[in-house]
Amino acid sequence: MRARLILLILGAVLVAQAATFAAIEHYRRNYLDTVAPDLMATTIRTLRAAIAQIPEENRADFVSEASHGEWRFESRALPARARRTEAERRADAGPHRPPREGGPPGFAPTGRMPPDFRPFEFRAPPDGRPPPREPPRWAEDDPRSGMRGLIRRLNQQLGEGTRVALSRGPEPALYISLSSTLGQEDGFTQRAWLVISLERISPGVTTPLLVIWLGGLGVILLIAAGFSWHITRPMTSLAVAADQLAAGKPQRVEPSGPHETRVLGERFNAMLDALDASDAVRRTLLAGLPHDLKGPLSRMRLRTEMADDPALKEGLRKDAQDMQHIVDQFIGYVRGTDPAAYHFDPMDLGDWLSERIHAWKGTGTAVELAAVPSQELRVNGDAVALARMVDNLIENALQHGAPPVDIRLTQRGANAVIQVRDHGPGISPDRRYEALQPFARLDPARSRTGNVGLGLALVDAIARAHGGRIALEQADSGGLQVDVELPLIA
């Protein structure tokens, strides 16, 4: 969920940035096609009028000062690295005007030329017409690739006498004529040129700008990660708390995050409070019922012994024993489900289990300790609760299975496993979950044997209280196999 939120936020940011860039590009192109040419034309007319009143030797300084050093003033012929518009070349050349030798029509390399000067070369066909000349093709990231609209707009604004050209050199520039004079030596036109760097009009994407954009994207990613963590952290805590509740170790959560997750955390805590209250009522009822039955049971035993009829006496004695067994089951379950009743201490599970099985064998019960590992398996456990657990497993195997009862102690990873197997019919897989529920009676005849369905439920509760779990499997003998896993300690 956290990764999806980050991707969602990142996608939204990228879409927003793409839309913003598209809007900026659209505005920039409209600006170049309309507003920029109008402003430039107005500025050029103003400069042209001002230059006419300024001595020739001061004109360059005047243009530089007026434009804050962004524009230049040059008085010379159009350099070889500049290109005039197609319309002006046709206007200058005329329908059948042959080109001048050494340069394009209307141009002469007078004055001081730059080192990279190369005159235009025209080869006239036999009929004297100049060959058609295709406009140069620049790269898409070259500022000159999108300047045709600007040039057309400037030509319209400045009139027929103005020449607009683009530089061919490595430094793209726009050349606009301000005035023209007649050369003294060869009669070619000498013009005053206003030189505007195209980087001032259409700046390219520079490295600092790219670094800033990537840095901003990284900051947005960090903010998105923090935002998603702020949203998903309460959900993660709630999921952990739900797992702990399923494991029998309920823990409260701290409501945090957005309003929805805070409400969810409060509802979860309210559910835990309701479960605690319900469990407290259940424990009270289960604990109170055996206590209330002790008095009637004692009186019943006394009257049984006073009865004269041997058959009646035996029947009453059997009923009293069954009732006492039910009372003992209630008391054991109440203690097994009460966390405060446990007292944990480190213990060697192998030695303890051997002593417990030896006590059972001393009563003549068909119980065998089939396997015990040679290494020491230490757990942090309550010896009284574990004894109650093993006793319940053996009694359950003897009453509802068939002897002999085989018990094994093994190690599985970081857990010690107590396996109890009988030779009875077992439990079908679709009813094993039901067998672990309190008061579950899989055999209707169990109600006549003094059982209330708390045996395996008590085993499960004790195993969970020790941080372990139980699993019901099918034994090789066909009977029921109960695996109790308990975590080992170092």
Q: Are residues 390 and 316 in the same domain?
A: no
In a domain, 38, yes or no: yes
Which residue, chain included where needed, has tokens 């980087």?
199
The per-residue pLDDT for 361 is 87
Q: Which of 313, 341, 369 is the last residue of a domain?
A: 341
Can you give the CATH number for the domain in which 297 is found? 1.10.287.130
Q: What does each of the 490 residues of the chain score in pLDDT, given as a tens digit?
A: 667 776 777 777 778 878 877 777 777 667 666 777 788 788 878 877 888 888 888 888 888 888 888 888 887 655 544 444 444 444 544 444 444 433 333 333 333 434 443 333 333 345 555 555 555 555 555 555 567 777 777 777 777 667 777 776 677 788 887 764 434 333 344 567 888 877 655 555 556 767 887 787 788 778 877 777 877 788 888 888 888 887 767 888 888 877 888 888 899 999 988 888 877 777 777 667 767 777 777 888 887 888 778 888 888 888 888 787 777 777 777 777 777 778 899 999 999 999 999 888 888 888 988 888 888 899 999 998 899 899 989 988 888 888 889 999 999 989 999 999 998 888 888 888 888 887 777 765 444 455 667 788 889 889 988 889 999 998 888 889 999 999 998 7
Q: Are residues 176 and 243 in the same domain?
A: no
Can you give the CATH number for the domain in which 453 is found? 3.30.565.10
Q: Which helix (H) or strand (E) holds 230?
A: helix 207-246
The per-residue pLDDT for 78 is 52
- Asked if 464 contacts 456 with a C-beta cutoff of 8 angstroms, the reply is no
Q: Are residues 154 and 303 in the same domain?
A: no
In a domain, 464, yes or no: yes
In a domain, 220, yes or no: no
Enter the pTM of the model. Answer: 0.48
The per-residue pLDDT for 183 is 40
Query: Cα 225 to the chain's mean position, in Å?
Result: 8
Q: Are residues 144 and 259 in the same domain?
A: no
Q: Are residues 59 and 28 in the same domain?
A: yes
The per-residue pLDDT for 200 is 59
In a domain, 64, yes or no: yes
In a domain, 348, yes or no: yes
Q: Are residues 300 and 357 in the same domain?
A: no
β-bridge mates for residue 481, sequence order:
421, 473
For residue 34, what is the DSSP state? I
Q: Are residues 139 and 242 in the same domain?
A: no
For residue 488, what is the DSSP state? B
Structure-block tokens of residue 360: 């059972």
In a domain, 164, yes or no: yes
Q: Are residues 277 and 309 in the same domain?
A: yes
Q: Are residues 362 and 327 in the same domain?
A: no
Q: Which of 341, 357, 383 is the last residue of a domain?
A: 341
What residue numbers bound the domain in which 277 lies?
236-341
Which residue, chain included where needed, has tokens 């979860």?
268
In a domain, 129, yes or no: yes
As for how many domains the chain has, the answer is 3
**What residues have CB less than 8 Å from 411, skipping those under 6 apart?**
373, 375, 377, 417, 488
Q: Which of 341, 367, 402 is the last residue of a domain?
A: 341
What is the four-CA torsion angle of 244, 247, 250, 255, rounded to 10 degrees? 20
Q: Are residues 171 and 244 in the same domain?
A: no
DSSP output for 386-447: HHHHHHHHHHHHHHHS-SPEEEEEEEETTEEEEEEE-SS----GGGHHHHTSTT--SSGGGG
The per-residue pLDDT for 74 is 81
**Residue 404: is the preceding peptide bond cis (ω within 30°)?**
yes
Q: Are residues 259 and 391 in the same domain?
A: no
Structure-block tokens of residue 39: 């402003």
Q: Are residues 296 and 381 in the same domain?
A: no
The per-residue pLDDT for 98 is 42
185 SS3 class:
coil
In a domain, 210, yes or no: no
Burial (CB count <10 Å: 0-12, 13-18, 19+), residue 405: buried
Beta-strand pair 480-487/469-474: antiparallel
